[in-house]
Chains A and B, each alone.
Chain A
Amino acid sequence: MSDAASRPVPKPDVFVPTEPFWQGARDGKLMLQYCRDAGRFQHYPRPVSIYTGGRNLEWREVSGLGQIYACTVLRVPGPGLAGRVPLSLVTVELDEGVRILANIIETPLEDVRIGRRVVLAWDRLDGGVAYPAFRIV
């Protein structure tokens, strides 16, 4: 059991192969799954393209730019929150036309609003492992 103050690093490749996401994070790049047939990104990663049902998938870097589509503030402590409450959780709609759930960091809570432009920032899990987050531009 991880203690409440830790931010455990998830095991990759459990659900579908995700190593490119984690390697990208180590390199400071946000890598998401891309369907070559549809020419569109999808997230979270799937075993097939949600557009075609095929497996002509690859991982591509996204710009890390987007805007807030929905936002909330997590106020109840629990696993993974590690003393971070109140914590901003948002849905970011990336300029590439795909959404990703993320924490907003390095930003006062009152500045987090729907429609605000955001840019990729890097959060840290246990052992300094990089994990994507965003901050207000």
Chain B
Amino acid sequence: MTRAPIVIAGYAETKVEFRSGRSAYDIAGEVLANLIERYGVAKSDIDGLSVTLALSEAPNPFFAVYMADALGLTPTWLNAGGIGGCSATGGVARACSAIRDGMCRIAVVISADAPSTAWRADYGAYRGEFQDPLGVQGPPATFGLLMSRYDHQYGLDPAALGKIAITQREHALHNPNALEKFKTPLTMEAYLKSRMIADPLRVLDCVMFCDGGNGFLVMSEAEARARGLDRTVRPAAYAEVTNYAGSDPCADITESGFWKLAPEVYRQSGLRPADIDMIQPYDDFTVAVLMQFEAFGFCARGEGSAFVNATDLSHRGTLPLNTGGGQISAGQPGLASGGLNLAEAVRQLLGEGGERQIHEPRNALVTGIGTIPYGRNWASSAAMILEA
């Protein structure tokens, strides 16, 4: 993205809670009020809105419009983000394009969901006939299959997955927004003893559905400066792909869409893997994190376990990983999940990481994953590189 500089000039995030009893609208309202208060942007100045579709409001095809109405906004650019955990980074990228095209000047990219209060999604399609009779209830079965294949081809060390879970849990201890339930340290013994859900997937490899939300203020750099918003973060690269290898029924499922995106975001940003100061990868399952280290060139293909075992992934380490705890340890706020990792990257780049602040980071790699397809890995992949 070397064209007119567009920036993230602000962010806001709610606590992650289990069964909060709140709606996505109410959570989004908290996010918007927070943005307005912290950054001094008048509600009437917001003329762009991206709304991530929510599991808890899934029956409503007009959710984005209802959200604009609920928030009292009158956008001239409205985007409904339907790529799940890619919708936050994807929403920011789309907002950048809309601002460059003159469709709006100041956009809010908002993600809020409350599936632990109200699960109202029904994916329909082929699932009734070709997945439900098999007992494929949700993502864990598909990830158990994926992990088995990865292990068969390359070897998958449970201790490496445990280290990812433990590192992220340690980070969540320093995140005031993280789910209270996860505010206790995790040991390798506890990880390895945690029960199998879908072999070789353990319960501590997984996220827990919670409620929560986040939002980002997107505008041109010139607009931000004119408003006195001098501390901003610049999206330096973005790429996404949906249904990678979708026309090959016998594709290697250990290769995800990230293999296509990685060279693209490095090309756009002019950075190499060794230049990346932190990684905030989408972490629905620990193996997805491990596979992304390989896809983004931090190690060779199949070397993910060895890389994790040999690398300090803490916020003081050589490659800080999900420094807010990620979804695995902060909780997964439904489809607002993609914004959790993005908010942490923005927070760190603005130097607001508090106890878990990385030392003077210059950039961050943030990713998204959306939707679990039939017997493969994930349907949508998104990657963004942010620069301070």
Contact = CB atoms under 8 A, between A and B. Distances in A.
Interface stretch (B56-64, B123-131, B173-181, B273-281): B123-131
B129 A73 contact: no
Given A45-B126, A50-B246, A99-B375, A76 B133 contact: no
Contact of A89 (B141, B196, B249): B141
B374 interface: yes
Nearest to A74: B135
* Listed residue (B125, B130, B144, B250) with the most chain A CB atoms within 10 angstroms of its CB: B130
Interface string B196-237: 111111000000000000000000000000000000000000
B33 interface: no
Interface stretch (B38-46, B145-153, B349-357): B145-153
Contacts of B132: 8, 10, 79-80
A15 B125 contact: yes
A106 B200 CA distance: 22
* Listed residue (A11, A42, A70, A125) with the most chain B CB atoms within 10 angstroms of its CB: A70
A72 B198 contact: yes
A99 B250 contact: yes
A42 B249 contact: yes
Contact of B128 (A10, A42, A93, A98): A10
B129 A14 contact: yes
B199 A72 contact: yes
Contact of A73 (B196, B246, B247): B196
B76 interface: no
Contacts of B195: 75
Interface string A32-71: 0000000011111100001100000000000000000111
A91 B102 CA distance: 48
B149 A70 contact: yes
A102 B136 CA distance: 10
A67 to B, nearest CB: 12
A11 B128 contact: yes
Contact of B247 (A18, A50, A70, A125): A50
B126 A89 contact: no
B286 to A, nearest CB: 15
A89 B152 CA distance: 16
A97 interface: yes
B135 A15 contact: no
B249 A78 contact: no
B137 interface: yes
A114 interface: yes
A28 interface: no
Contact of B148 (A45, A70, A84, A98): A70
A96 to B, nearest CB: 10
B135 A87 contact: yes
A15 B126 contact: yes
A136 to B, nearest CB: 16
B133 to A, nearest CB: 5
Contacts of A75: 195-199
B253 interface: yes
A93 B334 CA distance: 33
A97 B126 contact: no
Interface of A: 7-8, 10-12, 14-15, 18, 21, 40-45, 50-51, 69-76, 78-81, 84-85, 87, 89-91, 93, 97-99, 101-103, 114-115, 123, 125, 131
14 contacts: A7-B133, A10-B129, A14-B128, A70-B148, A72-B145, A73-B196, A76-B140, A76-B197, A80-B132, A81-B135, A89-B136, A99-B250, A101-B131, A114-B149
Interface of B: 124-126, 128-137, 140-141, 144-149, 152, 195-201, 246-247, 249-250, 253, 374-375
Given A15-B126, A73-B199, A98-B249, 17 more contacts: A8-B132, A15-B125, A43-B249, A44-B126, A50-B246, A70-B146, A72-B147, A72-B201, A74-B136, A89-B134, A89-B198, A91-B145, A98-B250, A101-B136, A114-B149, A114-B152, A115-B152
9 smallest CB-CB distances across A and B, nearest first, come from: A72-B144, A70-B145, A44-B126, A70-B149, A81-B135, A10-B129, A73-B199, A10-B128, A72-B198
